[in-house]
Structure 1
Amino acid sequence: MNKRRAFLIKSAFGAAGMALVPSWLNGAPAIIKRYNKPDSKINGVQIGCITYSFRSLPDQSAEATLKYVTDCGINAIELMGGPAESFAGMPESNLDRRRMYQLGGKQRSGETLTAEEAKEFGSLQEEAAAYGTEVAKWRNQVDFKKFEQLRKMYKDAGVSIYAFKPSAFGKSNSDAEIAYGMKAAKALGASHVTLEHPSDDAHTLKLGKMGERYNMAVAYHGHEQQTFTFWDTALAQSPRNALNFDAGHYIAAGHTDIMALLEKQHSRILSMHTKDRQTPANGKGNLPWGTGDTPIVEILQMMRQNKYKFPASIELEHQIPEGSDAIKEVQQCLEYCKSALV
């Protein structure tokens, strides 16, 4: 259809001139502007993607991330902090975060670190703290025009940014860093920032009030600690507090009332991470879409039927099969959504 319209537009202008262009071609500039750009809004349901899904790919720059998104056919995203902040000039770090998270996870699970591991973990923590101080200094003097430039670059490619997730909203971050994160999100065109729920009522109150001050919503993400009432306190604290719901984790936590939760909180859900996880009885695994227990089809159809406005963000967390990659897997997730909604 796009090719046919392009041919007719060219023919109409060339043969008859502007005065004879038929009325249906009045929107030709808009048609041309949208040509060959991604579109993942399906029958009123916005399918998006969190750029964390592309973490396995080597180039994590803003430019490469944009190409990953458009190659997948996605037109709206939750943007992780890394690509945007590196684009804006944030100091680089040689910190081996993967190793630090590995050792930290081992310690949190109750395992005892060896003396050598404990020493290594301590050094990594010191390095991370020093880098955090450097980043905080940079954030306090950043030029937000760089974020506006990134927004334009993405918009020109047909991609909007509905959420921003930098590591600026934790309990260890200063008020200045929190303000920076909200200002950067606004410059990017995001309606909300996202973070892991801090499990601290005082902090959700603080973030909600700062969201009111900077006109930015704060959406809290949950893992398997999510329950039907998990967000109630934060939501009561401020109209700027909201949900960054995770449908897959909710199922892995063993809950059977996900549809009721969506119905109750749909007006306060600003984005929803979507993945296919198993129930506890089936092992809690992250699986290719359509093989787990998350009722993705039913959720998407409910969103369509009830005209819910929040995007369903594809979050790639299942193991990437041999011979595939993150882009191919996200493409398959999008096709799954299309088959559910057409």
Structure 2
Amino acid sequence: MKNNQLNRRKFLATGILASAGLALKPSPLFCAPSIVRNLKKPNSLINGVQIGVITYSFRSMPDQSAEATLKYVTDSGISAIELMGDPAESFAGKPESPIDRRAFYGLMRAKRDGNITEDQEIELADLQAQAKAYGAQVAEWRKNMSMNSFEKLRKMYNDAGVSIYAFKPSAFGKDNSDAEIDWGMKAAKILGASHVTVEHPSDDTHTQRLGKIAKENKVYMAYHGHEQQTPTFWDTALKQSEYNALNLDLGHFVAAGNSQPLEIIKSKHQHIKSMHMKDRQTPAHDKGNLVWGTGDTPLEEALQLMRDQKYKFPGTIELEYEIPVGSNAVQEVQKCLAYCKKALDKRAH
């Protein structure tokens, strides 16, 4: 696992250098709105199942602007997305972050997986301090920014054939004010999202607070889980508010050692607003995050269950396995979408 982490960090570092080089040249994608309208519109609604992607999947791509992100989505053949906060807020004029996001994500994942070294702990602590200071700056910007930019962003995406079903800004943490949380909900509605997503805080007081503000805005708060997911993981939050919901991650659910991953879909389907899809292994197989179809996660069966039971929540591709040499995130998301299409075209025997 440590070698995998080092390889991942080396890959991310390469992406950062590429990004720095490209930043010296003006990107043609800044003129994208007029171009994008003329592209062939994607359609990833397959046999009644909406396949989407979280834009985090494209974090290794050099240009992280909203325009470039839209191009990655349409090139992947995806027509609906869970939109991360950074592309949307940058489009709206958010102050530029001094934080190395890719390194930050990698270190957070290493800590979560128990693979972090002492030097990495120090590096992570420094990045977290930077993030706190930057968060205060962003909170002030959110207080005064115009929401018109989100209307323009939604139109740009919709014109290209892409709808936004979920929004994930960094506005829903315990350190965020009620005003920021409310801002995140309002932004989601303007973008056309039915729900926002956030890492489950494992704090009943905070889920109650989020559920209350979600109800006021009529936007669902869907909690994402990692390896702490169990069949009863969301029960308290669901009792607290009718607007608390699930952003189930089926791959993490399997890696957590839960033996009946399809049962969580059947028992909680009415509370699932979207479901992250990745192919992870069980603890007995080292919890690997693998190319789809080679792990232990019953993705095919889950997709067919969604189709046959006519569940309306989207399945969200989250690209987290190591990208093969010579490929890129767009090409790998295309492969994941092809996997979904094959599974959903297959009829039950």
TM-score range, shorter chain: 0.7 to 0.9
Tell me which residue corresponds to 2:294.
291
Tell me which residue corresponds to 2:283.
280
What SS does the corresponding residue of 2:324 show, helix, strand or coil?
coil
Tell me which residue corresponds to 1:83.
87
Tell me how far 1:123 sits from its aligned partner: 4.6
Of residues 31, 40, 48 in structure 1, which corresponds to 2:44?
40
Q: Which amino acid aligns with 1:130?
A: A
Matches within 5 A, 1:296-311: 296-311=299-314
Q: Which amino acid aligns with 1:159?
A: V
Tell me which residue corresponds to 2:16.
none
Matches within 5 A, 1:162-181: 162-181=165-184
Of residues 143, 156, 166 in structure 2, which corresponds to 1:140?
143
Which string of whole-angstrom CA distances, capped at 9 and with x for unpartnered residues, describes residues 88-133 of structure 1? 110002223444566667777497736x974x65554443222111
* CA shift in 2, pair 1:104/1:148, >3 Å: closer
Q: Distance in 1 between matches of 2:105 and 2:96?
A: 18
* CA shift in 2, pair 1:107/1:39, >3 Å: closer
Of residues 324, 332, 345 in structure 2, which corresponds to 1:321?
324
* CA shift in 2, pair 1:129/1:266, >3 Å: same
Q: Distance in 1 between matches of 2:341 and 2:234?
A: 30
Q: Distance in 2 between matches of 1:260 and 1:310?
A: 16
Q: Distance in 1 between matches of 2:115 and 2:78?
A: 40
Instruction: Give yes or no for the alignment of 1:265 onto 2:268.
Output: yes
* CA shift in 2, pair 1:96/1:278, >3 Å: same
Q: Distance in 1 between matches of 2:321 and 2:197?
A: 22
Q: Distance in 1 between matches of 2:236 and 2:276?
A: 21
Tell me how far 1:333 sits from its aligned partner: 0.4
Kindly indicate whether the alpha-carbon contact (under 8 Å) linking 1:34 and 1:158 is maintained by their aligned counterparts in 2. Answer: no
Instruction: Give yes or no for the alignment of 1:152 onto 2:142.
Output: no
Q: Distance in 2 between matches of 1:121 and 1:36?
A: 42
Which string of whole-angstrom CA distances, capped at 9 and with x for unpartnered residues, describes residues 115-174 of structure 1? x974x6555444322211110000111111100110000000000000000010000101
Count of aligned pairs between the two proteins: 308
Tell me which residue corresponds to 1:184.
187
Kindly indicate whether the alpha-carbon contact (under 8 Å) linking 1:107 and 1:113 is maintained by their aligned counterparts in 2. Answer: no
* CA shift in 2, pair 1:71/1:291, >3 Å: same
Counting aligned pairs with the same residue, the percent is 65
Q: Distance in 1 between matches of 2:81 and 2:110?
A: 32
Q: Distance in 2 between matches of 1:70 and 1:137?
A: 33
TM-score by length of 1: 0.85
Structure 2 gaps, min length 5: 1-36
Q: Distance in 2 between matches of 1:105 and 1:302?
A: 30
Tell me which residue corresponds to 1:8.
none
Kindly indicate whether the alpha-carbon contact (under 8 Å) linking 1:276 and 1:286 is maintained by their aligned counterparts in 2. Answer: yes
Q: Distance in 2 between matches of 1:117 and 1:293?
A: 31
Q: Distance in 1 between matches of 2:173 and 2:187?
A: 16
Which string of whole-angstrom CA distances, capped at 9 and with x for unpartnered residues, describes residues 226-260 of structure 1? 00000000001000000000000011111122211
Matches within 5 A, 1:112-131: 113=118, 118=122, 123-131=126-134
Q: Which amino acid aligns with 1:141?
A: N
Q: Distance in 2 between matches of 1:200 and 1:184?
A: 24
Q: Which amino acid aligns with 1:283?
A: D
